[in-house]
Structure formats: structure tokens, C-alpha cells
Amino acid sequence: MGQKNSKIQITETDKAVLQLKRSKDEIHRFTKRTDILIASEKEQIKRLIKNNPTTYKQNTKIRLLLKRVHYQEHLLQQASDQLINLENMLVNIEFKLIESQFLTGLKKGNDILTKLNKEFTNIDEVISDAQEQMAYQNEINDALANSVVGVNNFEDEIDKELDNLGHEINPPSKLDMPTTEGLPAFEYDKEANITKPDIVAEKQKEERIQLPS
């Protein structure tokens, strides 16, 4: 696709790790070989002892073999120790790499935080600016509202005109309708079997008749 493959970098740390691992491999190889050697020599010793049941203790060959086996086992032990050292070293290196990555991450995060915080100091100015503008706008609004003279007088005149219009459109009735003020509460007359409104209506009829014309 025309993309150039980005080369994977081999760092100095990688080279150091390679050296350590190669040493580990060599020790491992040595250990395997020696293990096999010790096993076969032990077999040899056993066989010789079997073939010389009476004289084996004095047999120089057997004694030599046994000494060799001991020496090799001693070497194996040393190799083991070295292997452990190498492994520890490798683990330490690995851990240090992780720690340094952690530090770089922290630093970068810090840088970004400071950058963002800078933007916030600007925002303070922006906010106070906006508030000023709003207050100014309100002032303008008020000034405009009060700039026209005598606007209050108009309110009273408009009220009067509306009243006149209202009276024209909805004329008040000429009949004096009796009000229910001062009348007793609602009663039910059982005997006469009429409700109070009827009783009241009766009373009202009387009163009306008594009204002079």
C-alpha cells in the first residue's frame, strides 16, 4: 500500500537484556549437559560396585568417579546460583523499565494539566467581561424605556377610555334586581312541602307588590 514499515527500535536496554539472556542460555545448556553426565557416571559407579562387590571401596577408578561426580554437583550448584543472579537482574531491569514508563506518564499528565489550567485563568476574564456587557445592556434597556416622555399619563387615560367602551358595549341593566343580602339561610318547610327558595320567592313577591310604582 506504499506504506513503509516502521522499524522496530532496538534500545541499549534490549542489547543488555540480550547479553544476560545469552548467559542464562549458556548456563542452562551447561546444567543440562552436566545433569546427564552425572546421571551416567552414577550409573557407571553402580555397575562397578555391582561387579566388584568386595573390592569396590579400594577401587581407585570408582573413587575417582565418585570424586568427579561430587565436583560436578558442586559446579551445578554454582551454576544454579549464577542463574538465579541473572534472573534477578533481568527482573530488576524489567521492573525499572515499567517504573520509568510510569514516570514519563506522570510527567506528560502534569504538562497537560498545567496547560489546561492556563486556559482557566483566561476564562475568569471572559466571565467578568460577559457580566459587564450584560449590565450595560440592561442599562440601555432601561434608558430606552424611560426615554419617551409622559408615558405614565397615557395609562390613566387609557383606563378611562376602556371604561367608557365597556359601558357602551355591555350596558348596565335598568331593573333593580333584589339581592340576596340579609336573607336568612336555606330552610326546608316540611309541612308546607315547599323548599325555602319557594318561601323566599313568596316573601319577595309580597315585598315587590308593596313597592310603590
Partner 1 sequence: MTVHLELPAIYQFPPLFTRQPNKSIRNKQIETWINIILTNCEQCKIWTITKQGDMKIIDPDTQQVTTFNIFHNTEIDRSCSPIFINEIWQMMQKQGQLLNRDGKDLKISTDSDELQTDEEFYILWKSLELWANEILDWFERTTQLNKVVTFYEIVSSEDNFNESFYSMPEPLLYQILKILVKRGRATMLKENSKYVAIKVI
- Rounded-to-integer distance, Cα 43 and Cα 112, Å: 70
Bridge partners, residue 195, by sequence: 188
**Site membership for partner 1, residue 14 (CB under 8 A):** yes
Which one of 73, 81, 87, 94 is in contact with partner 1 (CB under 8 A)? 94
Using CB under 8 A as the binding rule, whether residue 29 contacts partner 1 is answered as yes
End-to-end CA distance of the chain: 116
Using rule CB under 8 A, residue 47 touches partner 1 = no
The Cα 135–Cα 199 span in angstroms is: 69
User: Least Å distance between CB 31 and partner 1?
Assistant: 10
Among 1, 2, 12, 17, binds partner 1 (CB under 8 A): 17
Q: What is the four-CA torsion angle of 122, 128, 130, 131, rounded to 10 degrees? A: 170
Q: Nearest distance from residue 46's CB to partner 1, in Å?
A: 15
- Please choose, out of 15-23, 73-81, 104-112, 150-158, the segment that lies near partner 1 by the rule CB under 8 A: 15-23
36 binds partner 1 (CB under 8 A): yes
Asked if 10 touches partner 1 (CB under 8 A), the answer is yes
Please state the closest distance from residue 127 (CB atom) to partner 1, in A.
47
Q: How far is CA 24 from CA 16, 19, 30, 94, in A?
A: 13, 9, 10, 16
8: contact with partner 1 by CB under 8 A = yes
For partner 1, the binding residues (CB under 8 A) are 5-8, 10, 14-15, 17-18, 21-22, 24-25, 28-29, 36, 94
